[in-house]
Amino acid sequence: MGKTREIKKRIKAVGNIRRITKTMQMIATAKFSAAQQRAVASRPYTDALFELVAGLAKALSDLKHPLLTASDKKATGRPLTLILTSDRGLCGPYNGAILRTAMAFARENPANRAGFIELVGKKGAGFLKYNNIPVSQAHTIGDKPTYETIESLAQNYMDRFASGEITSVHVVYMKFLSAGKQVPTVMQLLPFKADALEKHTPGKLEKPAGESTSQYEFSPDAEQLLGELLPAAVKAVLFQCFNDAIVSEHVARMIAMKAATDNAGKMGKRLTRTFNRARQAQITTELTEIVAGAAALG
């Protein structure tokens, strides 16, 4: 009886775990849908703004804008790397992939490892501490970042970049391509480059060969317009990075919880079969003992 009693306890425990993971999967699915809508809604604005800024930057190749090139006074500054991780776990390889990408980037660029390291999310703190990488600042954003919060963060980076405190800003995050594909990415936020803008424009489609590009007349002049649009582009792309990271986190958690639910279901079936076999063996033993006892008395 002891063995069957233990198996029944395990079946009950696995059933409770399966109910919990199933609930977490449903919650992650609901959050993913809402986060995906927010991310998709912001992309048309970001794409159009990036295309315009890239065209202006190429047209004004001789322009020395503070956000496009690093000036000589930044020789004493240090690069800044912003790493976007999650506050909660149970999201599969999400945080591991981001942190491995960040470590590879740090190994390839020793200056960035020695520079400012800023972190979003609690899950990356222990990893960076274990690897002896000091975090200069930790941000608490949550899974529903507002544009005002990201705008303030981007403005802080632009002010520090213009003053020479930092020489560059790189963002390490999980780029959302589709529900089935997310890619850990290192994106250069500052200084902006026209080629980098076109390369990293989220959702930007390649134009067919031979298609003519649109010609614009700018009012006010292109230089003044670029001065207004560049800060807006920095804020927009940083906001898009946060949206992509949150959508990718919910996708990873949804997939991880579905796998955990399926595994719990399979384990429950295996334990049930084991319980049935143990119970059948116990019944057979009891019947054998009864028959043997009856034969001895007869």
Q: Which domains does the chain have, with CATH numbers?
A: 22-205+222-255 (3.40.1380.10)
Res. 174 pLDDT band, cuts 50 70 90: very high
For residue 177, CA distances in Å to 185, 202, 203 come to 11, 9, 8
The secondary structure of residue 210, as a DSSP letter, is: T
For residue 226, CA distances in Å to 200, 213, 219, 231, 238 come to 19, 19, 11, 9, 18
Mean pLDDT score, 107-135 = 92
pLDDT of residue 154: 94
pLDDT of residue 238: 92
Task: Check: CB of residue 267 under 8 Å from CB of residue 20.
Answer: no
pLDDT of residue 217: 65
Res. 150 pLDDT band, cuts 50 70 90: very high
pLDDT of residue 164: 87
What percentage of the chain reaches a pLDDT higher than 90? 52
Q: How far apart are CA 197 and CA 201, in angstroms?
A: 6
Structure token pair of residue 198? 């076109």
pLDDT in tens, 73-89: 546 789 999 999 999 88
Average pLDDT along the chain: 84
pTM over 0.95: no
67-79 burial string, b = 16+ CB within 10 Å, else e? bbebeeebeebeb
Check whether 119 has a pLDDT greater than 80. yes
Structure token pair of residue 159? 């002010």
pLDDT of residue 208: 43
pLDDT of residue 214: 55
The phi, psi pair for 127, rounded to 5°, reads: -65, -45
pLDDT in tens, 247-270: 999 999 999 999 999 999 999 999
Check whether 290 has a pLDDT greater than 60. yes
Written as one letter, the residue type at 284 is: T
pLDDT of residue 93: 92
Mean pLDDT score, 55-76 = 66
Check whether 27 has a pLDDT greater than 90. yes
- Least confident range of 122-126, 173-177, 188-192, 251-255: 188-192
Res. 215 pLDDT band, cuts 50 70 90: low
Peptide bond into 44 cis (omega under 30): no
Going by C-alpha positions, the residue among 287, 288, 187, 167 that lies closest to residue 237 is: 187
Written as one letter, the residue type at 271 is: L
280-292 burial string, b = 16+ CB within 10 Å, else e? eeeeeeeeeeeee
pLDDT of residue 59: 66
pLDDT of residue 198: 47
What percentage of the chain reaches a pLDDT higher than 70? 84
